[in-house]
Structure 1
């Protein structure tokens, strides 16, 4: 087996383990937190499934981007929520209020098996004669099932059948993070020259605009609860890069997977100001509540 194959296997294993641990920790209360609030669920799906891809499509139409970048941005916008999403929300919400993030990840992952193939088909029709995206809906569904739905289902089954295994989650997450770090460094080093080759005037601006507009859409639709705003904002822009790379590799643009990596890197930098603001906001709310009777967090 070649070094490249080992690296890709490591990335796949890391993503599988991450989603597996999320499934192991999902509790009925997490699902009730989402499904017991139909209005918030509807707004969440609107932001993630409709507005996120729509923003990416509009920006791609307005900017003169490299075809590979267009494919990368579009496939990233229709990919399921990223595997690290619920864990990354822990420092940004109240310590006793992570249920919405876990429940939303579970719900969106299950729905993505149907939604992502449909979204890809709609986008192909919207781009029309440009013929930028060539992906079979069945192939899209297979990628989503193998990448996120399968490990999520396995993790859920393990967690429900053997609850004691949940104490292994932190150790599994550490292994997953270490494997990803070891594999990501050589991938980024090798892909960097290719990333530079597809950057045109306006490319970085387009990625930043898509990210900020997605954050704004999620933040506005997630209210009035502060934690709900934060979670939905990040859910709208936090997509599974592994699924997006797999989808992009099915198209006729060989550099599209590289464009996905570029978009992920730029997006991670673009969300930093919002992340810092939400941390300060959460700290201010916690400080204001000190000495006051506890109230339910939303």
Structure 2
């Protein structure tokens, strides 16, 4: 298992990259620049995706008695946007495709710019020796967003335009399979550590961060439920590949990886009632 664990962040990044390829295939011209070209939307995205999760994480760490590993994992996940499964989940709730895909691009830019900066500031503030290399983040963004997006756009708009819908479905299924393949050994490897975290306040602390991001994204998302849900999902689901890669770069204890995975699981669990509430709201409006 110890031999497999270093490969997991790469497998997670690759599976998420396939989702980006599928997004590129399904997108229309201008979708991925929709948010960054609109300053008002970009500011709201920054508040929801970066500002609210990071500030909430710092407050939780300051006021709740948490272990160092849990504190590190909460900060790493709060620093790491570009959420998993975001395009599919947001589009399933009726999200505007240009806004959904535009938020994905925005999250990638935020990660590239702010993860090294916030990491350095946090290391200095908390007086810990930790590194947040730009190269680590850049590799994840390049391998997980930039390159697959270019591939998806090339396939969908020039090379295999007629087959794009069928190809999108096939790639999406493969990406989900690889996510499961990556998750199983990861869960097996850190399950004991995860279970130890359940009763010491870690789960509640993580839930507070995710809940704040969900509420913040929903409030800031716009006038329609679809756009609100798109930003809420983007803000609340974080990128495990970046967080785990940074943990590995700092030779962190396995407990940090376990806590980061627990954060991801809690994010998905809290998303379930939120999606059910959205369906209720949509049904009521109809």
TM tier, smaller: 0.7 to 0.9
Q: Which moved more, 1:274-283 or 1:156-165?
A: 156-165
How far the C-alpha of 1:226 sits from its partner, in A, is 1.8
Q: Which moved more, 1:178-187 or 1:231-240?
A: 178-187
Whole-Å separation in 1 of the counterparts to 2:77 and 2:108: 14
Whole-Å separation in 1 of the counterparts to 2:239 and 2:6: 20
Report the equivalent of 2:169.
170
| Kept in 2: contact 1:22–1:155 (CA 8 A) | yes
- For the residue of structure 2 that corresponds to 1:219, the secondary structure is helix
Q: Of residues 128, 141, 151 in structure 1, which corresponds to 2:148?
A: 151
Report the equivalent of 1:261.
261
Whole-Å separation in 1 of the counterparts to 2:80 and 2:97: 22
Report the equivalent of 2:88.
87
CA RMSD of aligned residues (A): 2.6
Report the equivalent of 1:210.
209
- For the residue of structure 2 that corresponds to 1:171, the secondary structure is helix
List structure 1 segments (4+ residues) > 4 angstroms apart after TM superposition.
Answer: none
Report the equivalent of 2:40.
39
Q: Which runs of 5+ in 2 are unaligned?
A: none
| Kept in 2: contact 1:24–1:159 (CA 8 A) | yes
- Decide whether aligned partners of structure 1 residues 159 and 233 sit closer, same or farther in structure 2, where only a CA change above 3 A counts: same
Q: Which digits, 9 at most, give the CA deviation of each residue in 1:208-253, with x for residues without a partner?
A: 1111111111111113222121111111111111222112222242
Q: Which runs of 5+ in 1 are unaligned?
A: 288-298
For 1:199-238, what aligned pairs fall within 5 Å after superposition?
Answer: 199=198, 201-238=200-237
Report the equivalent of 1:294.
none
Number of residue pairs aligned between Structure 1 and Structure 2: 282
| Kept in 2: contact 1:76–1:241 (CA 8 A) | yes
| Kept in 2: contact 1:114–1:141 (CA 8 A) | no
Q: Which digits, 9 at most, give the CA deviation of each residue in 1:95-116, with x for residues without a partner?
A: xx33211121123223432222
Task: Report the structure number with the largest CA radius of gyration.
Answer: 1
